[in-house]
Structure 1
């Protein structure tokens, strides 16, 4: 049986799950004199995340990071399921899917580094930014032409919604 293309798999997506560092942000962290870690997030990614939520998609974040500012930003976009401090991402994924009665094949996950590997092995559409590590690129069914923090999330959300006829334009 022939494997489906990533565009064909996009027809089945009901759920978007994203890592934060290296996906919704670039890999840079600014450190203040008080030790606070600051990150930048792309507003076009933010628009697409909010648009997906408003269009009725499940949107979740699973990150090992624990920055409350990141959580506030994502919640302001309407994302109710923001899981920070998730060092074992597969456990959090399984809990989220079971709680919300979501099948793994309906999930698009975007990750960029080693902690994302186990999750990406079980979802229907594993994706990554252009600057992900090679091992993650190797298991991704779609590699965005955008880098993390530079529109990679927008890229995959927009493509899925266009394939499903639900994008803004």
Structure 2
């Protein structure tokens, strides 16, 4: 019998997220100068920082290459940030090999076709509620939240709660 997503969460040590459509709602505000601005959910950021502070690996693999995104993620303590990635499968394999991470220990959240093949390699493929039908079709867990609206917080919080680390990670700290 196949494991439930909650059972799989016990084995997760690593979170990998796409950016556009997962950490953002997929919208881009384009300035007169051509700069593309995105918004990110503060609760998603809080959960990613809690995961980093609790010893989880948090990695970003995105085809986009906005440097503002890199600055935001670094400020959360995330060091494994792969932007402008044309081949997510190759980046995933290199990242897991270098860090000695087994694919079954990885939760990956993606939302669209560029995430499809890498999501088939991980232990827990997940997606936001508003992901493309193809991605939802291969996701073991589909968040009840949309991309950029708390989907990342949803999966991190669930994993940390299953592993008994959610409230433990805060220890009275406010960031």
TM-score relative to the length of structure 1: 0.99
Tell me what 1:29 maps to. Answer: 28
Helix, strand or coil for the counterpart of 1:60?
strand
Q: Distance in 2 between matches of 1:134 and 1:87?
A: 22
Deviation at 1:27, TM superposition (A): 1.3
Deviation at 1:41, TM superposition (A): 0.2
Q: Distance in 2 between matches of 1:87 and 1:112?
A: 16
Tell me what 1:138 maps to. Answer: 137
Runs of 4+ in 1 over 4 A off after TM superposition: none
Tell me what 2:109 maps to. Answer: 110
Deviation at 1:168, TM superposition (A): 1.6
Q: Distance in 1 between matches of 2:110 and 2:61?
A: 10
Residues paired across the two proteins, number: 168
Q: Distance in 1 between matches of 2:97 and 2:132?
A: 29
The runs of 5 or more residues in structure 1 that have no matched partner are none
Deviation at 1:87, TM superposition (A): 1.3
Q: Once superposed, what is the RMSD of the aligned Cα atoms?
A: 0.6
Tell me what 1:148 maps to. Answer: 147
Q: Distance in 1 between matches of 2:49 and 2:139?
A: 24
Structure 1 position 55 matched with structure 2 position 54: yes
Tell me what 2:98 maps to. Answer: 99
Deviation at 1:62, TM superposition (A): 0.1
Tell me what 2:76 maps to. Answer: 77
Tell me what 1:160 maps to. Answer: 159
Residues 115-156 of structure 1, C-alpha deviations (whole Å, 9 max, x = no match): 000110000000000000000000000000000000000000
Q: Distance in 2 between matches of 1:28 and 1:79?
A: 23
Structure 1 position 43 matched with structure 2 position 7: no
